[in-house]
Structure 1
Amino acid sequence: MAIALSLLSALAYGISDFLGGIFARRSSPWQIAVVGQTSSGLFSLLAAVSVAGSPSSTDLAYGAVAGIGGGFGAAFLYRGLSTARMGVVAPLSAIGTALIPVAVGLITGDRPSTLALIGVVCAFPAITLISRVVDNNPAHRGGVIDGILAGIGFGLLFTFLGQVGSDAGLYPLALSQATSILSVVVTATVLRQAWLPRNRQAWRAVVMGPLGATAQGAFLYATHHGLLSIVAVISSLYPASTVLLAAVLLREKIHRWQGVGLAFAALAVTLVAAG
Protein backbone atom coordinates (compact mmCIF):
# COMPACT_ATOMS: atom_id res chain seq x y z
CA MET A 1 0.00 0.00 0.00
CA ALA A 2 2.79 2.44 0.92
CA ILE A 3 4.54 1.93 -2.42
CA ALA A 4 1.33 2.41 -4.43
CA LEU A 5 0.47 5.60 -2.54
CA SER A 6 4.04 6.89 -2.94
CA LEU A 7 3.90 6.28 -6.70
CA LEU A 8 0.53 8.08 -6.86
CA SER A 9 2.10 10.98 -4.98
CA ALA A 10 5.06 11.06 -7.38
CA LEU A 11 2.78 10.99 -10.43
CA ALA A 12 0.54 13.78 -9.13
CA TYR A 13 3.55 15.89 -8.17
CA GLY A 14 5.17 15.35 -11.56
CA ILE A 15 2.09 16.39 -13.54
CA SER A 16 1.49 19.37 -11.24
CA ASP A 17 5.09 20.51 -11.64
CA PHE A 18 4.84 20.27 -15.40
CA LEU A 19 1.70 22.40 -15.45
CA GLY A 20 3.23 24.85 -12.99
CA GLY A 21 6.25 25.26 -15.24
CA ILE A 22 4.06 25.88 -18.28
CA PHE A 23 1.91 28.44 -16.48
CA ALA A 24 4.93 30.19 -14.95
CA ARG A 25 6.32 30.85 -18.42
CA ARG A 26 3.26 32.99 -19.15
CA SER A 27 2.88 34.62 -15.75
CA SER A 28 4.86 35.31 -12.57
CA PRO A 29 5.99 32.06 -10.89
CA TRP A 30 5.15 33.65 -7.54
CA GLN A 31 1.57 34.26 -8.65
CA ILE A 32 1.34 30.72 -9.98
CA ALA A 33 2.56 29.40 -6.63
CA VAL A 34 -0.02 31.45 -4.71
CA VAL A 35 -2.92 30.36 -6.92
CA GLY A 36 -1.79 26.73 -7.05
CA GLN A 37 -1.26 26.45 -3.29
CA THR A 38 -4.57 28.20 -2.58
CA SER A 39 -6.42 25.81 -4.87
CA SER A 40 -4.70 22.81 -3.28
CA GLY A 41 -5.58 24.13 0.16
CA LEU A 42 -9.27 24.40 -0.68
CA PHE A 43 -9.37 20.83 -2.01
CA SER A 44 -7.46 19.59 1.05
CA LEU A 45 -9.90 21.38 3.35
CA LEU A 46 -12.89 19.83 1.58
CA ALA A 47 -11.29 16.41 1.95
CA ALA A 48 -10.49 17.08 5.63
CA VAL A 49 -14.11 17.89 6.39
CA SER A 50 -15.24 14.55 4.97
CA VAL A 51 -12.52 12.39 6.55
CA ALA A 52 -12.61 11.47 10.21
CA GLY A 53 -9.64 12.51 12.29
CA SER A 54 -8.55 13.88 15.64
CA PRO A 55 -5.41 15.95 15.14
CA SER A 56 -3.42 16.91 18.19
CA SER A 57 -1.78 20.29 18.59
CA THR A 58 1.51 18.59 17.69
CA ASP A 59 0.03 17.23 14.46
CA LEU A 60 -1.20 20.69 13.51
CA ALA A 61 2.19 22.18 14.34
CA TYR A 62 3.94 19.66 12.10
CA GLY A 63 1.48 20.47 9.32
CA ALA A 64 2.07 24.20 9.68
CA VAL A 65 5.87 23.88 9.56
CA ALA A 66 5.64 21.46 6.63
CA GLY A 67 3.68 24.06 4.69
CA ILE A 68 6.36 26.69 5.18
CA GLY A 69 8.84 24.40 3.48
CA GLY A 70 6.35 23.43 0.80
CA GLY A 71 5.54 27.01 -0.16
CA PHE A 72 9.21 27.96 -0.28
CA GLY A 73 9.95 24.94 -2.47
CA ALA A 74 7.04 25.50 -4.84
CA ALA A 75 7.93 29.14 -5.46
CA PHE A 76 11.55 28.42 -6.40
CA LEU A 77 10.59 25.33 -8.37
CA TYR A 78 8.19 27.30 -10.57
CA ARG A 79 10.72 30.09 -10.97
CA GLY A 80 13.28 27.59 -12.17
CA LEU A 81 10.83 25.78 -14.43
CA SER A 82 9.82 29.09 -16.03
CA THR A 83 13.34 29.91 -17.21
CA ALA A 84 15.27 26.65 -17.55
CA ARG A 85 14.73 23.15 -18.89
CA MET A 86 12.19 21.17 -16.90
CA GLY A 87 14.44 18.15 -17.39
CA VAL A 88 17.05 19.89 -15.24
CA VAL A 89 15.17 21.80 -12.55
CA ALA A 90 12.57 19.23 -11.47
CA PRO A 91 14.98 16.29 -11.10
CA LEU A 92 17.54 18.39 -9.25
CA SER A 93 14.90 19.49 -6.75
CA ALA A 94 14.22 15.84 -6.01
CA ILE A 95 17.68 15.29 -4.53
CA GLY A 96 16.99 17.49 -1.52
CA THR A 97 13.41 16.29 -1.42
CA ALA A 98 14.62 12.74 -0.87
CA LEU A 99 17.87 13.27 1.02
CA ILE A 100 16.52 15.30 3.96
CA PRO A 101 13.66 12.97 5.00
CA VAL A 102 15.76 9.86 4.36
CA ALA A 103 18.44 11.17 6.71
CA VAL A 104 15.83 12.07 9.34
CA GLY A 105 14.09 8.71 8.94
CA LEU A 106 17.28 6.70 9.40
CA ILE A 107 18.42 8.82 12.35
CA THR A 108 15.06 8.43 14.11
CA GLY A 109 14.94 4.66 13.74
CA ASP A 110 13.85 3.61 10.25
CA ARG A 111 15.34 0.21 9.43
CA PRO A 112 14.52 -0.76 5.82
CA SER A 113 15.17 -4.28 4.60
CA THR A 114 18.43 -4.90 2.75
CA LEU A 115 16.67 -5.05 -0.62
CA ALA A 116 14.71 -1.86 0.06
CA LEU A 117 17.88 -0.12 1.22
CA ILE A 118 19.59 -1.05 -2.05
CA GLY A 119 16.59 0.46 -3.85
CA VAL A 120 17.00 3.67 -1.85
CA VAL A 121 20.68 3.78 -2.80
CA CYS A 122 19.76 3.30 -6.49
CA ALA A 123 17.29 6.19 -6.32
CA PHE A 124 19.97 8.81 -5.71
CA PRO A 125 22.05 8.13 -8.86
CA ALA A 126 18.72 7.97 -10.70
CA ILE A 127 17.82 11.47 -9.56
CA THR A 128 21.35 12.74 -10.17
CA LEU A 129 21.55 11.33 -13.70
CA ILE A 130 18.11 12.61 -14.66
CA SER A 131 19.12 16.08 -13.48
CA ARG A 132 22.51 16.15 -15.19
CA VAL A 133 23.08 19.50 -16.93
CA VAL A 134 24.24 18.84 -20.48
CA ASP A 135 24.80 22.38 -21.78
CA ASN A 136 26.17 25.75 -20.74
CA ASN A 137 23.01 27.81 -21.10
CA PRO A 138 23.16 30.46 -18.31
CA ALA A 139 19.41 30.11 -17.72
CA HIS A 140 19.88 26.41 -17.08
CA ARG A 141 22.63 27.13 -14.55
CA GLY A 142 20.26 29.53 -12.79
CA GLY A 143 17.69 26.78 -12.82
CA VAL A 144 20.14 24.60 -10.90
CA ILE A 145 20.12 27.08 -8.00
CA ASP A 146 16.33 27.21 -8.01
CA GLY A 147 16.20 23.42 -8.12
CA ILE A 148 18.46 23.15 -5.07
CA LEU A 149 16.39 25.68 -3.12
CA ALA A 150 13.17 23.90 -4.11
CA GLY A 151 14.63 20.59 -2.94
CA ILE A 152 15.43 22.02 0.49
CA GLY A 153 11.86 23.30 0.82
CA PHE A 154 10.26 20.06 -0.31
CA GLY A 155 12.62 18.03 1.87
CA LEU A 156 11.35 19.91 4.89
CA LEU A 157 7.76 19.45 3.68
CA PHE A 158 8.18 15.67 3.46
CA THR A 159 10.06 15.45 6.76
CA PHE A 160 7.50 17.31 8.86
CA LEU A 161 4.45 15.94 7.05
CA GLY A 162 5.80 12.47 7.78
CA GLN A 163 5.57 13.18 11.51
CA VAL A 164 1.78 13.68 11.47
CA GLY A 165 -0.03 10.90 13.35
CA SER A 166 -2.17 8.32 11.57
CA ASP A 167 -5.32 9.34 13.47
CA ALA A 168 -4.97 13.06 12.70
CA GLY A 169 -7.06 13.04 9.53
CA LEU A 170 -6.40 15.66 6.87
CA TYR A 171 -6.68 18.90 8.82
CA PRO A 172 -2.88 19.10 9.27
CA LEU A 173 -2.61 18.80 5.50
CA ALA A 174 -5.08 21.64 4.95
CA LEU A 175 -3.17 23.76 7.47
CA SER A 176 0.03 22.91 5.61
CA GLN A 177 -1.41 24.33 2.40
CA ALA A 178 -2.50 27.49 4.23
CA THR A 179 0.94 28.18 5.68
CA SER A 180 2.50 27.40 2.30
CA ILE A 181 0.63 30.38 0.83
CA LEU A 182 2.02 32.59 3.59
CA SER A 183 5.50 31.22 2.87
CA VAL A 184 5.24 32.13 -0.82
CA VAL A 185 3.99 35.63 -0.04
CA VAL A 186 6.76 36.32 2.50
CA THR A 187 9.49 34.97 0.18
CA ALA A 188 8.18 36.99 -2.77
CA THR A 189 7.95 40.12 -0.65
CA VAL A 190 11.54 39.73 0.58
CA LEU A 191 12.71 39.31 -3.03
CA ARG A 192 10.49 42.21 -4.14
CA GLN A 193 8.46 40.10 -6.53
CA ALA A 194 4.78 40.59 -7.39
CA TRP A 195 2.74 37.75 -5.92
CA LEU A 196 -0.87 39.00 -6.14
CA PRO A 197 -2.59 37.34 -9.16
CA ARG A 198 -3.78 40.03 -11.56
CA ASN A 199 -4.35 38.29 -14.88
CA ARG A 200 -6.16 35.30 -16.35
CA GLN A 201 -2.91 33.48 -17.06
CA ALA A 202 -2.11 33.24 -13.35
CA TRP A 203 -5.57 31.94 -12.47
CA ARG A 204 -5.10 28.98 -14.80
CA ALA A 205 -3.06 27.46 -11.98
CA VAL A 206 -6.35 26.68 -10.21
CA VAL A 207 -6.38 23.37 -12.12
CA MET A 208 -3.30 22.32 -10.16
CA GLY A 209 -5.32 22.19 -6.94
CA PRO A 210 -6.61 18.61 -7.16
CA LEU A 211 -3.15 17.40 -8.18
CA GLY A 212 -1.40 19.12 -5.29
CA ALA A 213 -3.96 17.88 -2.77
CA THR A 214 -3.72 14.34 -4.15
CA ALA A 215 0.08 14.38 -4.10
CA GLN A 216 0.38 15.50 -0.49
CA GLY A 217 -2.56 13.41 0.70
CA ALA A 218 -1.14 10.27 -0.88
CA PHE A 219 2.27 10.99 0.66
CA LEU A 220 0.73 11.54 4.10
CA TYR A 221 -1.18 8.25 4.00
CA ALA A 222 1.86 6.43 2.58
CA THR A 223 3.88 7.43 5.67
CA HIS A 224 1.20 5.79 7.81
CA HIS A 225 1.75 2.48 6.02
CA GLY A 226 5.49 2.55 5.45
CA LEU A 227 8.83 4.00 6.56
CA LEU A 228 9.47 7.69 5.92
CA SER A 229 12.87 6.90 4.40
CA ILE A 230 11.23 4.62 1.81
CA VAL A 231 8.11 6.67 1.09
CA ALA A 232 10.11 9.87 0.63
CA VAL A 233 12.44 8.27 -1.91
CA ILE A 234 9.65 6.80 -4.05
CA SER A 235 7.64 10.04 -3.92
CA SER A 236 10.79 11.95 -4.88
CA LEU A 237 10.86 10.17 -8.23
CA TYR A 238 8.25 12.70 -9.41
CA PRO A 239 10.67 14.24 -11.96
CA ALA A 240 10.36 11.14 -14.13
CA SER A 241 6.84 12.09 -15.22
CA THR A 242 7.82 15.76 -15.54
CA VAL A 243 10.76 14.86 -17.81
CA LEU A 244 8.63 12.51 -19.92
CA LEU A 245 5.85 15.09 -20.31
CA ALA A 246 8.40 17.75 -21.27
CA ALA A 247 9.91 15.37 -23.84
CA VAL A 248 6.55 14.47 -25.40
CA LEU A 249 4.77 17.83 -25.27
CA LEU A 250 7.63 20.34 -25.33
CA ARG A 251 10.04 18.26 -27.41
CA GLU A 252 12.73 18.53 -24.76
CA LYS A 253 15.37 15.96 -25.57
CA ILE A 254 15.96 13.12 -23.13
CA HIS A 255 19.73 12.75 -23.16
CA ARG A 256 21.51 9.44 -22.78
CA TRP A 257 22.41 9.95 -19.14
CA GLN A 258 18.84 10.95 -18.33
CA GLY A 259 17.66 7.73 -19.96
CA VAL A 260 20.03 5.77 -17.73
CA GLY A 261 18.66 7.70 -14.76
CA LEU A 262 15.10 6.76 -15.65
CA ALA A 263 16.18 3.12 -15.81
CA PHE A 264 17.75 3.44 -12.34
CA ALA A 265 14.51 4.99 -11.12
CA ALA A 266 12.53 1.98 -12.34
CA LEU A 267 15.06 -0.34 -10.68
CA ALA A 268 14.81 1.59 -7.42
CA VAL A 269 11.01 1.29 -7.32
CA THR A 270 11.20 -2.42 -8.12
CA LEU A 271 13.73 -3.15 -5.36
CA VAL A 272 11.88 -1.12 -2.74
CA ALA A 273 8.60 -2.81 -3.66
CA ALA A 274 10.22 -6.26 -3.52
CA GLY A 275 11.80 -5.45 -0.14
Structure 2
Amino acid sequence: MGALLALLASLAYGTSDFAAGLGSRRLAAGPVTVAVQAFGLLAAGVGVVLFPGAGPTPHALLWGAVSGLGSAVGTLALYRGLSLGAMRVTATCSAVLTAVIPAVVGLFLGDRLSPLAMTGIVIAVPAIALVSWQPRTDRHGRAGLAHGVAAGAGFALLFIALDRAGTASGAWPLVPGQAAALLLVLPFALGVRPREADWRPAVLPTVVAGLLAGIANLLFLAATGRGQLTVVAVLTALYPAVTVLLARVVLTERSSRLQTTGLIAAAAATALTSLG
Protein backbone atom coordinates (compact mmCIF):
# COMPACT_ATOMS: atom_id res chain seq x y z
CA MET A 1 0.00 0.00 0.00
CA GLY A 2 2.86 2.36 0.78
CA ALA A 3 4.37 1.84 -2.66
CA LEU A 4 1.03 2.54 -4.36
CA LEU A 5 0.53 5.76 -2.40
CA ALA A 6 4.09 6.82 -3.23
CA LEU A 7 3.45 6.27 -6.93
CA LEU A 8 0.25 8.30 -6.71
CA ALA A 9 2.24 11.05 -4.96
CA SER A 10 4.78 10.90 -7.78
CA LEU A 11 1.98 11.25 -10.33
CA ALA A 12 0.55 14.25 -8.47
CA TYR A 13 3.95 15.94 -8.03
CA GLY A 14 4.87 15.41 -11.67
CA THR A 15 1.56 16.72 -12.95
CA SER A 16 1.80 19.70 -10.58
CA ASP A 17 5.24 20.57 -11.92
CA PHE A 18 3.96 20.33 -15.48
CA ALA A 19 1.02 22.63 -14.72
CA ALA A 20 3.28 25.08 -12.87
CA GLY A 21 5.57 25.11 -15.88
CA LEU A 22 2.65 26.07 -18.11
CA GLY A 23 1.77 28.89 -15.74
CA SER A 24 5.37 30.09 -15.59
CA ARG A 25 5.40 30.52 -19.36
CA ARG A 26 3.07 33.50 -18.88
CA LEU A 27 4.13 34.75 -15.45
CA ALA A 28 7.39 35.03 -13.55
CA ALA A 29 8.32 32.06 -11.38
CA GLY A 30 7.85 34.07 -8.16
CA PRO A 31 4.10 34.76 -8.45
CA VAL A 32 3.44 31.22 -9.70
CA THR A 33 5.36 29.73 -6.76
CA VAL A 34 3.43 31.86 -4.26
CA ALA A 35 0.10 30.93 -5.84
CA VAL A 36 1.01 27.23 -5.83
CA GLN A 37 1.93 27.38 -2.13
CA ALA A 38 -1.28 29.29 -1.34
CA PHE A 39 -3.49 26.69 -2.98
CA GLY A 40 -1.37 24.01 -1.35
CA LEU A 41 -2.25 25.56 2.01
CA LEU A 42 -5.92 25.47 1.04
CA ALA A 43 -5.58 21.78 0.14
CA ALA A 44 -3.90 21.14 3.50
CA GLY A 45 -6.87 22.78 5.26
CA VAL A 46 -9.28 20.51 3.43
CA GLY A 47 -7.03 17.56 4.29
CA VAL A 48 -7.27 18.36 7.99
CA VAL A 49 -11.07 18.33 7.79
CA LEU A 50 -11.08 14.98 5.99
CA PHE A 51 -8.17 13.37 7.88
CA PRO A 52 -7.85 14.97 11.32
CA GLY A 53 -6.23 11.95 12.94
CA ALA A 54 -5.72 12.34 16.68
CA GLY A 55 -5.37 16.10 16.32
CA PRO A 56 -2.31 18.37 16.24
CA THR A 57 0.65 17.68 18.50
CA PRO A 58 3.83 19.77 19.01
CA HIS A 59 5.87 16.98 17.40
CA ALA A 60 3.72 16.84 14.26
CA LEU A 61 3.44 20.62 13.90
CA LEU A 62 7.19 21.16 14.38
CA TRP A 63 8.20 18.62 11.76
CA GLY A 64 5.46 19.96 9.51
CA ALA A 65 6.98 23.44 9.72
CA VAL A 66 10.40 21.98 8.91
CA SER A 67 8.91 20.35 5.81
CA GLY A 68 7.71 23.78 4.72
CA LEU A 69 11.24 25.13 5.01
CA GLY A 70 12.45 22.32 2.76
CA SER A 71 9.67 22.94 0.25
CA ALA A 72 10.41 26.68 0.04
CA VAL A 73 14.18 26.27 -0.27
CA GLY A 74 13.85 23.48 -2.82
CA THR A 75 11.36 25.30 -5.02
CA LEU A 76 13.17 28.64 -5.00
CA ALA A 77 16.59 27.07 -5.64
CA LEU A 78 15.21 24.96 -8.48
CA TYR A 79 13.47 27.86 -10.20
CA ARG A 80 16.48 30.12 -9.71
CA GLY A 81 18.80 27.54 -11.22
CA LEU A 82 16.51 27.02 -14.19
CA SER A 83 16.20 30.77 -14.75
CA LEU A 84 20.00 31.05 -14.94
CA GLY A 85 20.02 28.77 -17.97
CA ALA A 86 21.48 25.83 -16.06
CA MET A 87 18.56 23.50 -16.65
CA ARG A 88 20.56 20.35 -17.27
CA VAL A 89 22.75 20.47 -14.16
CA THR A 90 20.15 21.91 -11.79
CA ALA A 91 17.30 19.56 -12.69
CA THR A 92 19.45 16.44 -12.68
CA CYS A 93 21.26 17.18 -9.43
CA SER A 94 18.02 18.17 -7.70
CA ALA A 95 16.14 15.05 -8.77
CA VAL A 96 18.91 12.64 -7.78
CA LEU A 97 19.52 14.17 -4.34
CA THR A 98 15.76 14.23 -3.68
CA ALA A 99 15.84 10.43 -3.98
CA VAL A 100 19.25 9.62 -2.51
CA ILE A 101 19.26 11.67 0.70
CA PRO A 102 15.95 10.36 2.13
CA ALA A 103 16.87 6.83 1.03
CA VAL A 104 20.17 7.01 2.95
CA VAL A 105 18.40 8.50 5.98
CA GLY A 106 15.80 5.74 5.84
CA LEU A 107 18.49 3.05 5.80
CA PHE A 108 20.29 4.78 8.67
CA LEU A 109 17.06 4.81 10.68
CA GLY A 110 16.64 1.07 10.25
CA ASP A 111 14.78 0.40 6.99
CA ARG A 112 15.26 -3.18 5.82
CA LEU A 113 14.84 -3.91 2.12
CA SER A 114 14.49 -7.12 0.17
CA PRO A 115 17.07 -7.80 -2.57
CA LEU A 116 14.39 -7.09 -5.19
CA ALA A 117 13.51 -3.71 -3.66
CA MET A 118 17.18 -2.79 -3.28
CA THR A 119 17.77 -3.61 -6.95
CA GLY A 120 14.87 -1.39 -7.90
CA ILE A 121 16.26 1.51 -5.87
CA VAL A 122 19.71 1.09 -7.39
CA ILE A 123 18.13 1.28 -10.86
CA ALA A 124 15.87 4.20 -9.89
CA VAL A 125 18.67 6.65 -9.08
CA PRO A 126 20.27 6.68 -12.57
CA ALA A 127 16.77 6.50 -14.08
CA ILE A 128 15.84 9.74 -12.31
CA ALA A 129 19.06 11.35 -13.52
CA LEU A 130 18.44 10.33 -17.13
CA VAL A 131 14.82 11.49 -17.14
CA SER A 132 15.78 14.86 -15.64
CA TRP A 133 18.69 15.42 -18.01
CA GLN A 134 18.06 18.33 -20.37
CA PRO A 135 19.63 18.23 -23.85
CA ARG A 136 20.39 21.95 -23.90
CA THR A 137 23.88 23.33 -23.37
CA ASP A 138 24.44 25.07 -20.05
CA ARG A 139 26.37 28.28 -19.69
CA HIS A 140 26.34 28.41 -15.90
CA GLY A 141 27.54 24.99 -14.78
CA ARG A 142 28.77 25.95 -11.30
CA ALA A 143 25.70 28.02 -10.51
CA GLY A 144 23.50 25.22 -11.77
CA LEU A 145 25.28 22.71 -9.56
CA ALA A 146 24.99 24.90 -6.47
CA HIS A 147 21.29 25.53 -7.02
CA GLY A 148 20.72 21.85 -7.83
CA VAL A 149 22.33 20.80 -4.56
CA ALA A 150 20.24 23.33 -2.64
CA ALA A 151 17.05 22.24 -4.39
CA GLY A 152 17.73 18.55 -3.85
CA ALA A 153 18.56 19.11 -0.18
CA GLY A 154 15.40 21.17 0.25
CA PHE A 155 13.08 18.60 -1.30
CA ALA A 156 14.85 15.82 0.61
CA LEU A 157 14.19 17.75 3.83
CA LEU A 158 10.53 17.99 2.84
CA PHE A 159 10.31 14.21 2.47
CA ILE A 160 12.25 13.41 5.63
CA ALA A 161 10.33 15.92 7.76
CA LEU A 162 6.94 14.61 6.65
CA ASP A 163 8.12 11.08 7.45
CA ARG A 164 9.23 12.16 10.93
CA ALA A 165 5.94 14.00 11.50
CA GLY A 166 4.12 10.69 11.18
CA THR A 167 0.49 10.00 10.39
CA ALA A 168 -1.00 9.93 13.91
CA SER A 169 -2.04 13.57 13.55
CA GLY A 170 -3.59 13.02 10.14
CA ALA A 171 -3.00 15.91 7.73
CA TRP A 172 -2.15 18.43 10.46
CA PRO A 173 1.63 18.52 9.68
CA LEU A 174 0.82 19.90 6.22
CA VAL A 175 -0.80 23.06 7.60
CA PRO A 176 2.30 24.62 9.24
CA GLY A 177 4.39 23.23 6.37
CA GLN A 178 2.40 25.01 3.66
CA ALA A 179 2.06 28.14 5.77
CA ALA A 180 5.81 28.33 6.37
CA ALA A 181 6.56 27.71 2.70
CA LEU A 182 4.10 30.44 1.66
CA LEU A 183 5.63 33.00 4.01
CA LEU A 184 9.16 32.18 2.82
CA VAL A 185 8.40 32.49 -0.89
CA LEU A 186 6.09 35.51 -0.61
CA PRO A 187 8.89 38.15 -0.78
CA PHE A 188 9.96 36.81 -4.18
CA ALA A 189 6.61 37.81 -5.71
CA LEU A 190 6.54 41.34 -4.31
CA GLY A 191 6.91 44.05 -6.90
CA VAL A 192 5.82 41.84 -9.79
CA ARG A 193 2.80 43.36 -11.53
CA PRO A 194 1.79 41.14 -14.44
CA ARG A 195 -0.50 42.41 -17.15
CA GLU A 196 -4.01 40.97 -17.34
CA ALA A 197 -3.16 39.42 -20.70
CA ASP A 198 -0.34 37.52 -18.97
CA TRP A 199 -2.00 36.30 -15.80
CA ARG A 200 -5.39 35.25 -17.17
CA PRO A 201 -4.05 32.23 -19.16
CA ALA A 202 -1.88 31.29 -16.17
CA VAL A 203 -4.70 31.10 -13.61
CA LEU A 204 -6.03 27.62 -14.37
CA PRO A 205 -2.68 25.77 -14.61
CA THR A 206 -1.43 27.54 -11.47
CA VAL A 207 -4.52 26.57 -9.47
CA VAL A 208 -4.24 22.99 -10.70
CA ALA A 209 -0.54 22.92 -9.78
CA GLY A 210 -1.23 24.18 -6.26
CA LEU A 211 -4.06 21.76 -5.54
CA LEU A 212 -2.11 18.81 -6.93
CA ALA A 213 0.95 19.75 -4.89
CA GLY A 214 -1.19 19.76 -1.75
CA ILE A 215 -2.69 16.39 -2.66
CA ALA A 216 0.79 15.03 -3.40
CA ASN A 217 2.00 16.07 0.06
CA LEU A 218 -0.97 14.32 1.64
CA LEU A 219 -0.35 11.16 -0.39
CA PHE A 220 3.34 11.16 0.51
CA LEU A 221 2.53 11.63 4.20
CA ALA A 222 0.09 8.72 4.06
CA ALA A 223 2.64 6.59 2.20
CA THR A 224 5.26 7.06 4.94
CA GLY A 225 2.77 5.63 7.42
CA ARG A 226 2.38 2.46 5.36
CA GLY A 227 5.85 1.97 3.92
CA GLN A 228 9.54 2.51 4.57
CA LEU A 229 11.01 5.96 3.91
CA THR A 230 13.69 4.51 1.64
CA VAL A 231 11.14 2.96 -0.73
CA VAL A 232 8.53 5.71 -0.49
CA ALA A 233 11.01 8.53 -1.15
CA VAL A 234 12.62 6.86 -4.16
CA LEU A 235 9.29 5.97 -5.79
CA THR A 236 7.96 9.47 -5.19
CA ALA A 237 11.16 10.99 -6.59
CA LEU A 238 10.33 9.42 -9.96
CA TYR A 239 7.98 12.38 -10.55
CA PRO A 240 10.18 13.92 -13.31
CA ALA A 241 9.17 10.99 -15.51
CA VAL A 242 5.53 12.10 -15.23
CA THR A 243 6.44 15.66 -16.21
CA VAL A 244 8.42 14.46 -19.23
CA LEU A 245 5.60 12.17 -20.39
CA LEU A 246 3.03 14.94 -20.06
CA ALA A 247 5.23 17.32 -22.04
CA ARG A 248 5.55 14.69 -24.73
CA VAL A 249 1.81 13.92 -24.91
CA VAL A 250 0.27 17.35 -24.31
CA LEU A 251 2.87 19.66 -25.81
CA THR A 252 4.27 17.15 -28.33
CA GLU A 253 7.78 17.85 -27.05
CA ARG A 254 10.35 15.33 -28.17
CA SER A 255 12.26 13.35 -25.57
CA SER A 256 15.97 12.75 -25.96
CA ARG A 257 17.34 9.23 -26.18
CA LEU A 258 18.68 9.56 -22.66
CA GLN A 259 15.26 10.57 -21.36
CA THR A 260 13.61 7.66 -23.16
CA THR A 261 16.16 5.29 -21.63
CA GLY A 262 15.45 6.85 -18.25
CA LEU A 263 11.71 6.32 -18.66
CA ILE A 264 12.24 2.63 -19.42
CA ALA A 265 14.60 2.27 -16.47
CA ALA A 266 12.11 4.11 -14.24
CA ALA A 267 9.37 1.66 -15.21
CA ALA A 268 11.66 -1.27 -14.36
CA ALA A 269 12.67 0.32 -11.05
CA THR A 270 9.03 0.91 -10.15
CA ALA A 271 8.11 -2.70 -10.81
CA LEU A 272 11.05 -4.14 -8.86
CA THR A 273 10.67 -1.80 -5.89
CA SER A 274 6.92 -2.32 -5.67
CA LEU A 275 7.17 -6.11 -5.93
CA GLY A 276 9.97 -6.14 -3.35
Scaled to the shorter chain, the TM-score interval is: 0.7 to 0.9
Measured in 1, the distance between the counterparts of 2:14 and 2:92 equals 10
Which residue is 2:127 aligned to? Answer: 126
The offset of 1:240, in angstroms, is 0.4
1: distance between equivalents of 2:17 and 2:121?
23
Instruction: Name the residue aligned to 2:71.
Output: 70
| Worse-superposed segment, 138-147 or 19-28 | 138-147
> Could you tell me which residue of structure 2 aligns to residue 210 of structure 1?
211
Contact 1:94–1:127 (Cα < 8 Å) also in 2: yes
Structure 2 equivalent of residue 11 of structure 1? 11
1:185 partner letter: L
Cα distance change of structure 1 residues 214 and 90 upon mapping to structure 2, 3 Å threshold = farther
**Aligned partners of 1:195, 1:98: CA distance in 2, in Å?**
32
SS in 1 for 2:164: coil
Equivalence map 1:251-262=2 (5 Å): 251-262=252-263
Across the two proteins, how many residue pairs are aligned to each other?
269
Larger CA deviation: 251-260 vs 72-81: 72-81
Amino acid at match of 1:173: L
CA distance in 2, matches of 1:227, 1:198: 44
CA RMSD between the two structures: 2.4
Distance of aligned partners of 1:43 and 1:157 in 2 relative to their CA distance in 1, 3 Å threshold? same
Q: Is the 8 A contact 1:130 1:262 kept in 2?
A: yes
Letter in 2 for 1:61: L
Give the equivalent residue in structure 1 for 2:34. 34
Q: Identify the residue that residue 161 of structure 1 maps to in structure 2.
A: 162
- Map Cα deviations across residues 56-92 of structure 1 (whole Å, 9 max, x no partner): 2011100000111101212233445567698876554
Is the 8 Å Cα contact of residues 62 and 164 (structure 1) preserved in structure 2?
yes
Q: Normalization by structure 2: what TM-score? A: 0.88
Whether 1:60 aligns to 2:61 is yes
Deviations, residues 232-260 of structure 1 (Å, cap 9, x unaligned) = 00000000011112223334321112111
Deviations 1:140-178 (A, max 9, x none): 986665444322211110011111122111111121111
CA contact (8 A) 1:69 1:153 kept: yes
> Counterpart in 1 of 2:241?
240
Structure 2: runs of 5 or more not aligned: none
Give the TM-score taking structure 1 as reference length: 0.88
Asked whether the 8 Å contact 1:63–1:175 carries over to 2, the reply is: yes
Distance in 2 (alpha carbons) for counterparts of 1:69 and 1:135: 28
